[in-house]
């Protein structure tokens, strides 16, 4: 029997007058149905959030931290259930789905810890004669109600990155999960409903995409946190120039392998990590390896290893523990990847492995000799495709990384400390991973990009800063 999921309106279950279906992209089976809120119910959620703002902002830290601890505990207890659900709605291999639940647990745990230790700042002002007897207290307060818009590729963990920081700072949040993957967010709502968070402090609304412009522009939502495509993200920002927007957008991440990374063990490690993280979510990750930039001295040996390890990636049923690469989110996504590879080949690229599609599944693919005018050379493929590029020296390698409209993360395989610091300084990206692929992310670290990869930072503490604003209180007439 198919489950019909209700949405969450001001912390309680609710149903609208219509629903939509969520299908598994591997076998097409119906995974669940989800109710759609009416316009009146969305209004009710917004009114409740606005009313909750002063109450939630004033809750003691221990209450918010306890709620976050509870969510982390319950996610841990329900790991396998949630992993199976994420795999079913997203097509993600079950082993990666389990990892996603573990990361979501960490996000709520970090948020609990940050809620307890966020103390503000104090400063004496008698550093100048006019400040004698004055002392300042600087604290952060919510900017207002947050609109969190989450993508399909990490349907629980990227929801967690919206919700957990909001709870930590006492900012009410209206969460809009991706329409293709809303089910795990609905289960998160079950867990949040077990806490004693104030009524109206959170809602999870399955609003269709075509109704989102009105919600984005609603003045009651002064903060927008969006993860998704650069096109949609900048459309949002342009439509609300006076709102505070955090945009975590696309990338075409590069893995750089330099001349000093040349031993057999070094190249095995680089090839293993590149092959895994070009394909681990079907390539549907903003920091999935898309470009491999290798020094000419290691290029041939590395290319051979990368191709072999990509061929070894097991593609198949995402419910099978042995599967490394599952389907894309739907068949249209796979057809788009297929068309981009065909465009590259027509312009001179060589397919070293892969290059085939079956339904929503696209085979892990390696290209060489990718011309600069191919779509794949400039855009984010969001699929299991990587290209190999030969360069001479560090200067050329770093210039190749920066020759992109995007700048999210880069990986640099080098043993040289000076080169590592140079990469940190010169590469036009939000994060540089030394000795590994660009796809590493710890959920407490600042995460975000430059250029077309967005503005602002995720990572619990940094998202808390984005959701809040400093306010200063000056005490006068004190004997310091």
Residues in CB range of 358: below 8 A, 6 or more apart: none
Tell me the C-alpha to C-alpha distance, in Å, between residue 139 and each of 169, 426, 469: 11, 34, 8
Q: Which of 447, 465, 469, 400 is nearest to 428 (CA)?
A: 400
What's the chain's Rg over C-alpha atoms?
A: 24
Decide whether 4-249+454-472 matches 254-442 in CATH topology.
Answer: no
Pick among 3.50.50.60, 3.90.79.10, 3.40.605.10, 3.40.50.2000: CATH of 4-249+454-472:
3.40.605.10
Question: Please, where are the H alpha helices in 328-455?
Answer: 331-346, 375-378, 393-402, 417-426
Q: How far apart are CA 169 and CA 141, in angstroms?
A: 7
pLDDT, one tens digit for every residue, the chain (480 residues): 678 999 999 999 999 999 999 999 999 999 999 999 999 999 999 999 999 999 999 999 999 999 999 999 999 999 999 999 999 999 999 999 999 999 999 999 999 999 999 999 999 999 999 999 999 999 999 999 999 999 999 999 999 999 999 999 999 999 999 999 999 999 999 999 999 999 999 999 999 999 999 999 999 999 999 999 999 999 999 999 999 999 999 999 999 999 999 999 999 999 999 999 999 999 999 999 999 999 999 999 999 999 999 999 999 999 999 999 999 999 999 999 999 999 999 999 999 999 999 999 999 999 999 999 999 999 999 999 999 999 999 999 999 999 999 999 999 999 999 999 999 999 999 999 999 999 999 999 999 999 999 999 999 999 999 999 999 999 999 998
Domain ranges of the chain: 4-249+454-472, 254-442
Residue 174: CA count within 13 A, CB half-sphere: 29
Structure tokens at 357: 């599609």
pLDDT tens for each residue of 193-243: 999 999 999 999 999 999 999 999 999 999 999 999 999 999 999 999 999
Single pTM value for the model: 0.96
Structure tokens at 180: 């293709």
Helix axis angle for 94-117 and 61-77, nearest 10°, is 160
Residue where the block lists tokens 């809620």: 115
Q: Which of 285, 141, 241 is nearest to 455 (CA)?
A: 241
Q: Which of 206, 247, 253, 208 is nearest to 228 (CA)?
A: 247
Residue where the block lists tokens 């996603």: 100
Got the DSSP string for 236-253? HHHH-TTSEEEEE-----
Sign of the C-alpha dihedral computed for residues 231, 234, 236 and 238 taken in this order: negative
Q: Is there a contact between 292 and 257 (Cβ–Cβ < 8 Å)?
A: yes
Structure tokens at 342: 């065909």
Q: How far apart are CA 400 and CA 227, in angstroms?
A: 26
The catalytic residue positions are 248, 286
Q: Is there a contact between 390 and 294 (Cβ–Cβ < 8 Å)?
A: yes
pLDDT tens for each residue of 244-280: 999 999 999 999 999 999 999 999 999 999 999 999 9
Burial 287-310 (b: 16+ CB within 10 A, else e): bbbbbbbbbebbbebbbebbbebb
Sign of the C-alpha dihedral computed for residues 398, 403, 404 and 405 taken in this order: positive
What was the pLDDT predicted at 3? Answer: 86
Q: Which of 282, 252, 71, 85 is nearest to 177 (CA)?
A: 85
Tell me the C-alpha to C-alpha distance, in Å, between residue 118 and each of 110, 113, 138, 169: 12, 9, 11, 9
Residues in CB range of 249: below 8 A, 6 or more apart: 227, 228, 229, 230, 233, 234, 286, 406, 408, 449, 452, 453, 454
Query: Dmax of the chain from CA atoms?
Result: 78
Q: How far apart are CA 346 and CA 351, in angstroms?
A: 11
Residues in CB range of 50: below 8 A, 6 or more apart: 145, 172, 200, 220
Q: Is there a contact between 204 and 41 (Cβ–Cβ < 8 Å)?
A: no
- The correct answer on CATH 3.40.220.10 for the domain covering 254-442 is no
Q: Residue 478 gets which letter from DSSP?
A: -
Residue where the block lists tokens 């957990």: 164
Q: How far apart are CA 188 and CA 144, in angstroms?
A: 22
Q: How far apart are CA 93 and CA 87, in angstroms?
A: 6
What was the pLDDT predicted at 142? Answer: 98
């Amino acid at each position: 029997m198919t489950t019909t999921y209700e949405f969450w309106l001001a912390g309680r279950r609710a149903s609208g007058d219509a629903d939509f279906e969520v299908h598994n992209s591997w076998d097409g089976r119906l995974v669940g149905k989800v109710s759609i809120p009416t316009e009146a119910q969305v209004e009710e959620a917004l009114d409740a959030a606005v009313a909750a703002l002063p109450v939630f902002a004033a809750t003691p830290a221990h209450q918010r931290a306890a709620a976050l601890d509870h969510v982390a505990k319950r996610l841990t207890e329900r790991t396998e259930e949630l992993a199976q659900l994420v795999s079913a709605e997203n097509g993600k291999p079950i082993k990666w789905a389990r990892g996603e639940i573990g990361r979501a647990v960490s996000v709520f745990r970090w948020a609990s810890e940050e809620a307890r230790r966020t103390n503000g700042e104090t400063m004496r002002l008698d550093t100048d004669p006019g400040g004698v007897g004055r002392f300042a207290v600087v604290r952060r307060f919510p900017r207002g109600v947050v609109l969190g818009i989450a993508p399909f590729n990490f349907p629980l963990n990227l929801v967690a990155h919206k919700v957990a920081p909001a709870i930590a700072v006492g900012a009410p949040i209206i969460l809009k999960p991706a329409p293709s993957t809303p089910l795990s967010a609905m289960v998160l709502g079950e867990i949040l409903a077990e806490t004693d968070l104030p009524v109206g402090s959170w809602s999870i609304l399955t609003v269709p995409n075509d109704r989102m412009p009105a919600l984005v522009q609603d003045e009651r939502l002064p903060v927008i946190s969006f993860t998704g495509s650069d096109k949609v993200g900048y459309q949002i920002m342009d439509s609300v120039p006076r709102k505070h927007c955090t945009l975590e957008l696309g990338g075409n991440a590069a893995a750089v392998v330099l001349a000093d990374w040349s031993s057999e063990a070094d190249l095995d490690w680089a090839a293993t990590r590149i092959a895994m993280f070009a394909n681990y979510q079907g390539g549907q990750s903003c920091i999935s390896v898309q470009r491999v930039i290798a020094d000419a001295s290691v290029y041939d040996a590395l290319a051979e290893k990368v191709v072999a390890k990509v061929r070894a990636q097991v593609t198949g049923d995402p419910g099978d523990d042995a599967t490394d690469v599952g389907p894309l989110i739907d068949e249209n996504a796979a057809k788009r990847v297929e068309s981009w590879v065909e465009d590259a080949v027509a312009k001179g690229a060589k397919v070293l492995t892969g290059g085939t599609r079956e339904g929503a599944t696209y085979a892990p693919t390696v290209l060489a000799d990718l011309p600069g005018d191919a779509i794949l050379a400039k855009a984010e493929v969001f699929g299991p495709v990587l290209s190999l590029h030969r360069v001479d020296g560090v200067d050329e390698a770093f210039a190749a990384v920066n020759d992109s409209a995007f700048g999210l993360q880069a990986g640099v395989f080098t043993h040289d400390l000076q080169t590592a610091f140079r990469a940190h300084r010169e590469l036009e990206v939000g994060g540089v991973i030394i000795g590994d692929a660009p796809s590493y992310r710890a959920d407490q670290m600042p995460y975000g990009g430059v250029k077309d990869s967005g503005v602002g930072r995720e990572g619990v503490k940094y998202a808390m800063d984005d959701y809040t604003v400093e306010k200063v209180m000056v005490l006068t007439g004190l004997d310091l």
